[in-house]
Structure 1
């Protein structure tokens, strides 16, 4: 019995070493490929996951053989072992197969890759850190790791697909002159197109396709605060959040310089004094 335990431990150690060797060889292999970096990281993550499950399955079979539960040389014992495995797999096969198949569809259609910033199911937000055959792992803003089963993924919003449109809204008091507001926003667009031109999305010929411009007044109805103005611009996907932050900052700076006031909720308190309720002493 002691020898079987020792052999089992030895099998586990060897399996661990083999798994590390496979990961090392995969990392070396992808250094010589000409794929996109994110695509390489995605393939590495997937193959790592597959190798893990293969090595794990082989290790379990070898350990079971040590305890004479499964003997791959004997058909009857193999069938018995397969029946046990089949029974266990049958319990969880529905969710497991759903995770695996959905994971392959996500990968095949390139809905996301390692390094993409995504929102999954309108609930989980973060950078894709690892893609496996059963689950996908994200790292959110707080650096918490979020693991989502592939079978539960119903929607993906990907912020890392070549280009994105920055849409910046600002509400301005109704008392402000619209012509003055539009002039200030035109100045903001000029700053974004010149100072931050590296953000802009360009065609293969190097031409800027959709620079920042004023979209116009987008809301004046049923809003007591002020009119909403909108400017837009198409930027490279990995520059989206930086471009959005800088656009909002430039709006505040230019508005301050041109004495344009951003609208905000105000409350007017009216005090009513009734002299008829006063009595003479």
Structure 2
């Protein structure tokens, strides 16, 4: 008898898993036939899959409880009526589940964020939206860590994907280097970056990009005694910001090395006191 129940339980779990995968497959095929915006499709698909997961999970738990005679499904409707349902909702709300779900619905249907957007949440968590569920939202930050925030905890949203972001890179070079040599090298960096990233440079007018990388010039000679600060800037699509930022820094190092330009670094002088008694 116990063995039969265990086998039935395994079958229930397998069926639930297969059903979830089938729903995900059919949703994918369904969205292939639609003409929605790709990011909106991904967001809607993420939400519907999340809903399917929770529904199947609850049904699976009920069937497993029934299999072991822990709950009588025929009386389940009575269980969640009257005062019982009030107690159930209060219990769920006390765990912030309802808060997460309600906030999630507002985020999704007001299109505050969508899958693929680059966002900053609560002025603390930043990254690309990877998944939006009923209870939580997941980001992938610049070092590829996955960060998950309960929807109920999201108090502020800064969405950069509908705008552009300015890449600003500062580099400090020794005062001994010829300033014009440094600027020429940085202009070479800008030319390389403009060619490499011409498809994602933003703010275009008459096919000419106003977001091209350019040398901003010498921006500081007073803050540090070790060298002058030079700055280059460019404007890119927000979802490509970190990629271009890292590439910009790498290209500066490569070009400086090719041109024999040394980046300034602090020098430490250690004074060792000789304590020799005569």
Q: TM-score range by the shorter chain?
A: 0.7 to 0.9
Q: Deviations over 1:256-280 (max 9, x none)?
A: 3333321101123567899xx986x
Give 1:252 shift.
Answer: 2.1
Change (3 A) 1:89 1:197: same
Residue 138 of structure 1 deviates from its aligned partner by 3.6
Does residue 126 of structure 2 align to residue 128 of structure 1?
Answer: no
CA distance in 2, matches of 1:278, 1:17: 84
Within 5 A, what are the aligned runs for 1:105-254?
105-121=106-122, 123-124=124-125, 127-139=128-140, 145-156=146-157, 160-161=161-162, 163-201=164-202, 203=204, 206-254=207-255
* CA distances 1:71-99 after superposition (whole Å, capped 9, x unpaired): 4xxxxx36x64532331320331522321
Root-mean-square deviation (CA), in Å?
3.9
Change beyond 3 A, Cα 1:11–1:251: closer
CA 1:264–1:203 in 2, change beyond 3 Å: closer, same or farther?
same
Structure 1 residue aligned with 2:75: 69
Structure 1 residues 229 and 156: CA distance shift in structure 2, 3 A: farther
Partner of 2:87: 87
- Write the distance in 2 (CA, Å) between the matches of 1:272 and 1:198: 60
Superposition deviation, residue 150 in structure 1:
0.7
In structure 2, how many angstroms separate the alpha carbons of the residues matched to 1:23 and 1:31? 13
The residue that corresponds to 1:25 in the other structure is 26
> Is the CA contact 1:19–1:55 (under 8 Å) kept in the aligned structure 2?
yes
Residue 192 of structure 1 deviates from its aligned partner by 1.9
Task: Quote the Cα distance in structure 1 between the aligned partners of 2:12 and 2:247.
Answer: 56
Comparing 228-237 and 245-254, the one that deviates more: 245-254
Indicate conservation of the 8 Å contact 2:62/2:73, yes or no.
Answer: no
d(CA) in 1 for partners of 2:71, 2:238: 53
> Across the two proteins, how many residue pairs are aligned to each other?
268
Q: Which moved more, 1:234-243 or 1:139-148?
A: 139-148
1:34 aligns to what? 35
Look up the SS of the partner of 1:210 in the other structure.
coil
For the 8 Å contact 2:142–2:242, the answer to whether it is kept is: no
Give the unaligned 5+ runs of structure 1.
Answer: 72-76
TM-score w.r.t. length of structure 2: 0.75
Q: Which moved more, 1:152-161 or 1:61-70?
A: 61-70
Partners of 1:271 and 1:53 lie apart in 2 by 67
